[in-house]
Amino acid sequence: MGHQYDSNEHIDHSLADEEKPPLDAAPTNDPFGDESHGEVKYRTMSWWQAGMLMIAENVSLGVLSMPSAMATLGIVPAVIIIIGLSGIAWYTGFVIGQFKLRFPHIHSMADAGELLMGRFGRELLEVGQLLFLIFLMASHILTFTQQFNTITGHGTCTIVFGVVGLILSCICALPRTMSKVYWMSIASCTSILVATIVTMVAIGVQAPPDVQVKATTHVNFADAFLSVTNIIFAYIAHIAFFGFISEMKDPHEFPKSLTMLQVADTSLYIVTAVVIYRYKGADVASPALSSAGPLMAKVAYGLAIPTVVIAGVVFGHVACKYVYVRIFRGSDHLHSNGFVAVGTWVAICLSTWTIAWVIAESIPVFNDLLSLISSLFGSWFSFGLPAIFWLVMNKGNYFANSSKIFLTLVNLVILGIACAICGLGLYVSGKSIHDSASTASWTCANNAQ
């Protein structure tokens, strides 16, 4: 099941000389195979459609935690960290695109793990990526409960709102191709942009004249690094990149999609964090929409409903698609609209979203859940593993010339950063979850700030 990597397979190091295959031809060992006669076709996205999907996936909950992180760290350190992490994420995303071109059979991090470490690597990264994606789905269900508690004034039990979010997410996740999810992503991008602008305007209008903002702050290590992990959360979309590239018409155009993502998200993060912190000060909440005041918070959360649901659906789609392709790879069911194919897809969606709902009810603190996700999973899938991919692709050429030496050092540094984020992040997020034990899990209580 899946491509078995031959350790004797030659790794060609001349990516620059690689010829593009015809757009209507299936790449060698493509995860979706020959689609010419299939009822369901997957390789249909243009680069800008992929870019919109990536923006919808990435620019959602991450932007809502930025002002709080800036309040903890101060304006100067926060902006430096946002720009620095953006640059690293841009580079590691580009490496993932190059790795996919080198090994077209790769559809997920688990496929890459098999290439790196055989069967053990596949199983390790398979479990890791599914847990990562399900935790991301959980963060969206958690935010869904917070926004509906805010909108309705805690109109009913929080667990009920969680179940509503679970059902709505399952329904939106029913399309099997990324190109159909793309149309929902337009609503998601518009939603978060409008909600963020409304929040900034509302906070600016209501701001008292004596708001205190700081260029730098004095804060203990645990709180500072917790805020750093919340910024990292805004750049952990890489887990889905292999899946996105697999459904592009021309995978060689992925760098355009990546550029579209990085320019859009970094600009929005900086503007949002600076403006909201400037007018709200140290009291800014996370998610930031809660800081807009009682009435405008309801308006902002209402406008953000498509983002909270759809961005979670994109993560859920990647998780479900991986399981689906793993089950039916090489089978006619993959391109079928028959009962077995559709029924299996629905069952996978329902199962994964139910697990996500359980996690959301178990870790009901927004910042703590984001920090845990970033530390345990984002550190490796967005930073550590891409650095390893580069080292694999360039094995034997690390010191071939000055540029190779420089890039070797860069990737080793990124690998070190990933290790630091994972170790230190797990410590501070675990400490924060422990210290927040008074916030009960599985409760009907209002979790809106």
173-197 b/e with 16+ CB inside 10 Å = b?
A: beebbbbebbebbbebbebbbebbe
Q: Choose from 18-27, 34-43, 273-282 the range with maximum mean pLDDT.
A: 273-282
CA distance 146 to 162: 9
Q: Could you report the per-residue pLDDT of 210-221, keeping only the tens digit for each?
A: 888 899 999 998
Q: Could you report the per-residue pLDDT of 239-251, keeping only the tens digit for each?
A: 989 999 999 999 9
* Per-residue pLDDT, 16: 38
What is the overall mean pLDDT for the chain? Answer: 86
* Per-residue pLDDT, 26: 52
124-155 b/e with 16+ CB inside 10 Å = b?
A: bbbebbbbbbbbbbbbbbbbbbbbbbbbeebe
Sheet strands (E) in 267-405 = none
What percent of the chain lies above the pLDDT cut of 90?
49
How many other β-carbons are positioned within 10 Å of the β-carbon of residue 299? 17
The pTM assigned to this predicted structure is 0.84
Is pLDDT at 10 greater than 70 in this prediction?
A: no
* Per-residue pLDDT, 4: 45
Residue 45 phi/psi, 5-degree rounding, is: -85, 140
In this structure, what token pair is assigned to residue 384? 């550590």
In this structure, what token pair is assigned to residue 385? 């593993």
* Per-residue pLDDT, 17: 39
User: Average pLDDT in the 421-444 region?
Assistant: 78
208-231 b/e with 16+ CB inside 10 Å = b?
A: eeeeebeeebebeeeebbbbbbbb
* 121-130, 175-184, 335-344: least confident range: 175-184
Is pLDDT at 367 greater than 70 in this prediction?
A: no
Residue 131: which pLDDT band, with cuts at 50, 70 and 90?
A: confident
CA distance 228 to 224: 6
Is pLDDT at 396 greater than 60 in this prediction?
A: yes
Ordered structural domains, the chain, with CATH = 41-435 (1.10.4160.10)
Q: Could you report the per-residue pLDDT of 331-345, keeping only the tens digit for each?
A: 888 888 899 999 999
